[in-house]
Structure 1
Amino acid sequence: MEKPLLVTDFLDRARRHYGDEEAVVATTGERYSYDELGERADGFSAFLQDRGIEKGDRVAVLDPNTHYHLEAAYGSMQVGAVHTPLNYRLVPDDFEYILTDAEVDAIYADHEYADRIEAVRDAVPTETFVTNDADAVEGDWESFDEVIDAAGTDYDRPEMDEDDDITINYTSGTTGDPKGVVRTHRTETIHAYLVSVHQEIRDDDVYLWTLPMFHVNGWGHIYAVTGMGATHVCTRGVDAGWIFDTVAEEDVSYMCGAPTVLNMLSDHYESEDGDVATTGANEVRIATAGSAPPEATIRTVEDEFGWHLKHVYGATETGPLITTSDARRLYDDSDARFKIKKRQGLGYLGTDVRVVDEDGTEVPWDDETIGEVVVRGNQVMDRYWNEPDATEEAFTDRIEGYYHTGDLAVVDDNGMISIQDRKKDIIISGGENISSIELEDTLYEHDAVSQVAVIPAPSEEWGETPKAFVVPANDDPENPPVSTDELKQFCESRLAGYKIVRRFEFVADLPTTATGKIQKYELREREWDDEDSMVGQG
């Protein structure tokens, strides 16, 4: 027997079995049950249909992590419209490109960000504009609460197929215009199932939204947390002290956070001399992704906070999540677990993750041979929106039928991958390949280093040489607590001679994405501005 896999099933299930249970703790203090959340989503569905939105039309959502985002997303998807979440850190020109590229028909925008849409309103195809506070926004915007009250809750849910498009998530566009990653009901649903299993989501979970909902649909948590009948605790940005307070007050059991968020929490904890409540009534687990957190950070999270850390990995195009280091049979409670938790880990259920050489041959599991991570799985994207050539390349570069991540990794004897670098971040110095991640991990071991990014810098002698941009622990780049000579000597005692970082620059902060990933391309572009080309073409 076959039943179509539809994302609408997640809210349907929660309403059926957990209608009276708390679904959302809103940023404004309201608390909504699943019945109430569902009725508000129904109201948005009815409103959209009144405005002529049909199955397949695109509806954008520009919102921090509030209950409006969940209502607008489900309200859109219930009428078969394609949910198109937008990165709230973008500028008007970016929004003009995305709204035009996706041919967005309607948009809900939070009042703090609606002005960026208003600035390009006349240049985009969008005709319906809704916000949560129309009085706070210039221009002709309708109030979300007013339109759902007026529309009622009756709407016609169209027949939908699991292979229908249901979301478009735009990439960061760090190497050109952002690309729209198209995902179907099937890919979203299977990814949410996998997240539910590997992240151990339960109906009594209290999930704190420290990860942007717009970012690959919050790593699928807008589906998984909802479908399991758990509680969403919404946010408008993150602050370390507020996170700890909320974890204790709301009995949070699960959240996600980039390594930069973990560092922020660790710094706050240390600044308070550990006098911080780190849990409420529930034990806490936290998922992190991107570059592996420093071992010292993992130790603080697990040994000081008492939280269980799960290191996961993926990309917008892959769901995102495709691997996990939470393989407890492969480590014990000793210090050995930290080395495993720094790895990106094993493939999720039903996910074929390989590391292959330039000929598409799988590299040996010797933890030394570097290749590119490729993946095949039911959670991988369908295609790039209106980008057939880019889609073809992404699935055929080294090996046919696998999505090529652009990440370089090694594999240990258990089949656990460990990312060594992005293709473009490998430093080629004097013909030797140097991993910027290895150098960053080394520098993170120094107490005076709060954050660091290592990139290739031009060198007349070697072509490229490593350069480190360091945020000092005292946040004062003019008077750091360590000298560049001391950092160089620190590297010399821990790294092979050709890998040593010889150039340093102290900075107040590093450029990051909305999800906390360091944008090295900005540092590279600045460093190579006067050069004709980069040796590694990063």
Structure 2
Amino acid sequence: MHKPLLTTDFLDRARTHYGDQEAVVATTGERFTYDELGDRVDRLSAALAERGIGKGDRVAVLDPNTHYHLEAAYAIMQLGAIHTPLNYRLVPDDFEYILNDSGVKAIIADHEHAEKIEPVRESVPTELYVSNDASATEGEWEDFETLLEDSSGEYDRPEMEEDEIITINYTSGTTGDPKGVCRTHRAETIHAYLVSVHQEIRDDDTYLWTLPMFHVNGWGHIYAITGMGAKHVCTRGIDAEGIFETIRTEDVSYLCAAPTVLNMLIERYEATGEGTTGANPVRAATAGAAPPEATIRTVEDEFGWYLKHVYGATETGPLITTSDAKRLFDADSADRFSIKKRQGLGYLGTDVRVVDEDGADVPRDDATIGEIVVRGNQVMDGYWEKPEETEEAFNDRIEGYYHTGDLAVVDEHGMVSIQDRKKDIIISGGENISSIELEDTLFEHPDVADAAVIPAPSEKWGETPKAFVVPASGDPDAPGASAEEITAFTRERLAGYKVVHEIEFVEELPTTATGKIQKFELRQKEWDEEDRMVGEG
């Protein structure tokens, strides 16, 4: 029997079986059951439909981890429209590009972030603007709660097929503008199934939203947590004190956190010695960069949590591997930390390989480096209206596999461990940063003749952008503009987390005979004392 796999099934199931159970603890202090959450979603679907939103329309959501984001996502998908979450840390120029690239018809924004949309309203195709607090939002915005109050909640849910696009997630462009990763009902559904299995999600879980919902739909947790009938605890931001307090007061059992967030929590714990759990045991998933063994040891031995290290990319769902392989390590042995820091084994039904330049699998010797490629039902169909980039992503070394750009080794059990990156990407504090974008911005400065940006090791962030700059003056000792002035120049043009904080002035950059900059030489210099050329958070 064939039954279409639809993202709307997750909320439908929760409403059917857990309608009277608490679904959401909101940042406003409100609490909603799944019946109440479903009613709010229906009312928003109806309100959007009345304003012309229908199947296939792109609707952006610019919101931190609030109940408004959850409601907006499901309301959009119930109409067969395409949920397009936005990174609220971006700047107006970024939003202008994304809203135009995907042809966004409506945007639902948090009042604290809507101000970044106002400067570009006249240059984007967006027609409908909704704020969760219109009175606190500059410009003409409809109010979210007023829409719900005035809505009948009656709407027509269209026929939908599992191979239709239901969400577009924008990733940092490594060779140009950001790309919209197109994900279907089927891909999202199967990924959520896999997350539910490998993250051991159950209906009595209380999930704390420390991972941004805009990150590939919160790594699929907007579906998995909902479908299992578990509880969402929403947040407006990340602070160690608030996380620990919420874990204790709400009896949180599960959360996701990049290694940098774990380090924030460790600093807080070491300073206060406060309680790290409530009534429930806590497990945490981490990704973005491999956590150092010391971080894993503290989280497990001092916090008393169980840590799961997972790996993937926006294009792959994101999650495709896990180092949570209990049969491969002794739970009471310190040896487990060296295994848990690896990216790990492929998820169920996921074909993860490490291949050489010819597309052949590298030996399982934990020494030979190749590129991680992957096939799986959770992998994207392609980039939004970018067929050439899609073709390249799936057919570089080996046909039909998504090429991650991560270079890794494989051990005897098939567990992968990333050693370097092929792509010009920097992962700092769990955020992807395009070195190409940073270089383009540096080139705009009149005192910069040439520049190359690479990841440099950082104890706090795992890795951080560093720029090697050839000054227009030709003299590194008299560059014309100071490092601080160039940093300030980039801060005006880039999201804060992308800004280059370390600048080294040089006479020239290493190049090949054809003039191509050899970033590998620069990376080798920076990572000389490390055992790999990727950061550990």
Q: What's the TM-score, normalizing by structure 2?
A: 0.83
Q: Secondary structure, in 3 states, of the residue corresponding to 1:246?
A: helix
2:124 paired with 1:141: no
| Aligned counterpart, 2:415 | 416
Distance (whole Å) between structure 2 residues aligned to residue 31 and residue 290 of structure 1: 31
| Aligned counterpart, 1:299 | 297
Which of 510, 513, 517 is 1:534 aligned to?
517
| Aligned counterpart, 2:17 | 17
CA deviation after TM superposition for structure 1 residue 536, in Å: 3.2
Contact 1:425 1:456 in 2 (8 A): no
C-alpha distance 281-93 of structure 1, shift in aligned 2 (>3 A):
same
Distance (whole Å) between structure 1 residues aligned to residue 500 and residue 353 of structure 2: 30
| Aligned counterpart, 2:371 | 372
Distance (whole Å) between structure 2 residues aligned to residue 77 and residue 68 of structure 1: 14
CA deviation after TM superposition for structure 1 residue 387, in Å: 0.4
CA deviation after TM superposition for structure 1 residue 176, in Å: 2.3
Q: Secondary structure, in 3 states, of the residue corresponding to 2:519?
A: coil
Distance (whole Å) between structure 2 residues aligned to residue 414 and residue 425 of structure 1: 29
| Aligned counterpart, 2:188 | 188
| Aligned counterpart, 2:285 | 287
Q: What's the TM-score, normalizing by structure 1?
A: 0.83
Contact 2:467 2:500 in 1 (8 A): no
Distance (whole Å) between structure 2 residues aligned to residue 248 and residue 283 of structure 1: 11
| Aligned counterpart, 1:501 | none
Q: Secondary structure, in 3 states, of the residue corresponding to 1:119?
A: helix
Distance (whole Å) between structure 1 residues aligned to residue 507 and residue 128 of structure 2: 42
Aligned partner letter, 1:356 = V
Q: 1:233-272 residue pairs with structure 2 within 5 A?
A: 233-272=233-272
Contact 1:211 1:256 in 2 (8 A): yes
Provide the aligned length of Structure 1 versus Structure 2. Answer: 467
Per-residue CA deviations over 1:464-516 (Å, capped at 9, x if unaligned) read xxxxxxxxxxxxxxxxxxxxxxxxxxxxxxxxxxxxxxxxxxx9xxx9xx999
Q: Secondary structure, in 3 states, of the residue corresponding to 1:212?
A: coil
Distance (whole Å) between structure 2 residues aligned to residue 515 and residue 15 of structure 1: 39
Aligned partner letter, 2:200 = E
Distance (whole Å) between structure 1 residues aligned to residue 118 and residue 102 of structure 2: 17
Distance (whole Å) between structure 2 residues aligned to residue 39 and residue 89 of structure 1: 30
Q: 1:92-171 residue pairs with structure 2 within 5 A?
A: 92-171=92-171
Per-residue CA deviations over 1:316-343 (Å, capped at 9, x if unaligned) read 0000000000000000120010000000
CA deviation after TM superposition for structure 1 residue 175, in Å: 3.9
C-alpha distance 95-256 of structure 1, shift in aligned 2 (>3 A):
same
Aligned partner letter, 1:374 = V
Distance (whole Å) between structure 2 residues aligned to residue 83 and residue 249 of structure 1: 32
| Aligned counterpart, 1:356 | 355
Distance (whole Å) between structure 2 residues aligned to residue 412 and residue 302 of structure 1: 24
Distance (whole Å) between structure 2 residues aligned to residue 388 and residue 271 of structure 1: 52
| Aligned counterpart, 1:177 | 177
2:61 paired with 1:78: no
C-alpha distance 23-530 of structure 1, shift in aligned 2 (>3 A):
farther
C-alpha distance 297-80 of structure 1, shift in aligned 2 (>3 A):
same
C-alpha distance 529-422 of structure 1, shift in aligned 2 (>3 A):
farther
Distance (whole Å) between structure 2 residues aligned to residue 424 and residue 83 of structure 1: 27
C-alpha distance 515-204 of structure 1, shift in aligned 2 (>3 A):
farther
Per-residue CA deviations over 1:65-120 (Å, capped at 9, x if unaligned) read 00000000000000000000000001111101000110011110000011111111
Q: 1:271-282 residue pairs with structure 2 within 5 A?
A: 271-272=271-272, 275-282=273-280
Q: Which moved more, 1:170-179 or 1:393-402?
A: 170-179
Contact 1:425 1:455 in 2 (8 A): no
Identity among equivalent pairs (%):
71
| Aligned counterpart, 1:453 | 463
| Aligned counterpart, 1:325 | 323
C-alpha distance 523-344 of structure 1, shift in aligned 2 (>3 A):
farther
Distance (whole Å) between structure 2 residues aligned to residue 515 and residue 233 of structure 1: 27
Distance (whole Å) between structure 2 residues aligned to residue 310 and residue 49 of structure 1: 41
Task: Give the gaps of 5 or more residues in structure 1.
Answer: 428-435, 461-506
Contact 1:21 1:34 in 2 (8 A): yes
Distance (whole Å) between structure 2 residues aligned to residue 121 and residue 529 of structure 1: 43
Distance (whole Å) between structure 2 residues aligned to residue 161 and residue 525 of structure 1: 51
Task: Give the gaps of 5 or more residues in structure 2.
Answer: 427-453, 471-486, 524-537
Distance (whole Å) between structure 2 residues aligned to residue 360 and residue 152 of structure 1: 56
Distance (whole Å) between structure 1 residues aligned to residue 18 and residue 154 of structure 2: 21
Aligned partner letter, 1:213 = M
2:40 paired with 1:40: yes
CA deviation after TM superposition for structure 1 residue 152, in Å: 1.6
| Aligned counterpart, 1:490 | none
2:345 paired with 1:346: yes
CA deviation after TM superposition for structure 1 residue 54, in Å: 1.1
CA deviation after TM superposition for structure 1 residue 28, in Å: 0.8
| Aligned counterpart, 2:394 | 395
Contact 1:424 1:536 in 2 (8 A): no
Per-residue CA deviations over 1:226-264 (Å, capped at 9, x if unaligned) read 000000000000100110010000000000000110111
C-alpha distance 100-266 of structure 1, shift in aligned 2 (>3 A):
same
Contact 2:468 2:504 in 1 (8 A): no
Structure 1 segments of 4 or more deviating over 6 A?
Answer: 454-460, 523-529
Aligned partner letter, 1:285 = R
CA deviation after TM superposition for structure 1 residue 172, in Å: 2.2
Per-residue CA deviations over 1:150-195 (Å, capped at 9, x if unaligned) read 1221000000000011000000235421100000000000000000
Aligned partner letter, 1:55 = K
Aligned partner letter, 2:114 = A
C-alpha distance 189-22 of structure 1, shift in aligned 2 (>3 A):
same
